[in-house]
Amino acid sequence: MGEYFDWVNADKREFISPHDFGLGNKIYESSQKDSPLIAALHVLLCGRWKGDRIVWLGDTSPINADTNCGVLKSLYEQSEIVGYDGMASDMVYKYYKDIAGRFKDAEKDVREEIEIYINSRGDENPFRNTYGVDEANPYEGLFITAGRRCRYTVNHTKRVYYSLDETRVYGENGKELLHTDPLPMLMCYGRGIEGEWLGDIIGASDELPQGYTLLERINIAR
C-alpha cells in the first residue's frame, strides 16, 4: 500500500490535494515542473498562505509527541485535542477545509466531489462538506483563480532560493531530474522521510530575493 500526500497549512487549517487537480497523490506524482498543483501552491504562497507553516503531509506517518519541528508540533497538538493523537492526516481529512476549489484547474474533479456530497445529504451517513460550500449555492466563488508558477521558490528561514531555470535537481542515483520540482521532497513528512526544509517558512516570488543565496544544485531522494 502506498502513502498519499497533501499540501497542508497548519495555521489556516486548510489543505489542497493532488486528486482535486486530476493528479496522483503519491509523493512524486505531482512534482513535475508543469504541475497545476504546484502552480496553485505558488499562488497561495504569494497570498493567502504567505508566511504560514505548510507541509507535504503523508497519510500513514504519525507524528511523535516530542517532535521539535514547529509545524509538526502544531499538527500533533491539534490532532491530540480531537482524539487522533498524532495521526495528523486523519485529523486534516476530518476537520480541515479543502480550498482547491478556488482554482480553475481543479474544477472538473472538485465539481464532481461537491455533487457527490450534495447527493449524499439525505443518507444516513452523508459525506462531509470538505470544501465548506454553501448548500444553497455550492459553486459560488469557486473555479476563479488561475494557478501560476513564480520564477523563484524561496526559503525565508534559511535565506536561500532556487529557480527551475538556474538550479539543477538530482536524484539519489546522481541522475539529473530535468522535469522535477524538488519542493514536495524538501517539504515532505512521510514514511521514513523528512524533507530538508520541513518546518521552514516558504514563499514564491517573481522578484529576485535580495540578500538570499541561490541554490545551484539540489539533491533529493527518489
Each of the 222 residues of the chain gets a pLDDT tens digit; together they read: 689 999 999 999 999 999 999 999 999 999 999 999 999 999 999 999 999 999 999 999 999 999 999 999 999 999 999 999 999 999 999 999 999 999 999 999 999 999 999 999 888 888 999 999 998 999 999 999 999 999 999 999 999 999 999 999 999 888 999 999 999 999 999 998 999 999 999 999 999 999 999 999 999 975
Measured CA angle at 30 (ends 196, 119), to 5 deg: 125
In a domain, 138, yes or no: no
Same structural domain, 59 and 16: yes
In a domain, 112, yes or no: yes
The predicted pLDDT at position 222 comes to 55
Same structural domain, 65 and 107: yes
Max intra-chain CA distance, the chain: 58
The predicted pLDDT at position 126 comes to 86
Indicate left, alpha or beta for 138 from its phi (over 0: left) and psi (-120 to 50: alpha). alpha
Same structural domain, 173 and 96: no
The predicted pLDDT at position 172 comes to 82
Domain count of the chain?
A: 2
H or E element that contains 14: strand 14-16
Angstrom CA distances, 191 to 63, 75, 105, stand at 11, 16, 29
**Which three cell numbers mark 92?**
486534516
The predicted pLDDT at position 176 comes to 95
Distance of alpha carbon 99 from alpha carbon 112, whole angstroms: 15
Same structural domain, 95 and 159: no
User: In DSSP terms, which residues pair with 55 in a beta bridge?
Assistant: 8
The residue behind cell 507535504 is: 56
H or E element that contains 205: strand 202-205
The predicted pLDDT at position 169 comes to 97
pTM, entire model: 0.96
Residue 208 belongs to what domain range?
152-219
Q: Round to the nearest angstrom and report the end-to-end CA distance of the chain.
A: 17
Same structural domain, 163 and 80: no
In total, the chain counts a number of residues equal to: 222
In a domain, 136, yes or no: no
Nearest to 111 by CA among 100, 125, 123: 100
Distance of alpha carbon 114 from alpha carbon 135, whole angstroms: 10
Q: Among positive and negative, which fits the CA dihedral 60, 190, 89, 38?
A: negative
In a domain, 139, yes or no: no
The residue behind cell 486528486 is: 19
Q: Which amino acid, one-letter code, is at 142?
A: L
Domain end position, chosen among 119, 134, 162: 119
Judged on CB neighbours under 10 Å (0-12, 13-18, 19+), 64 is: exposed
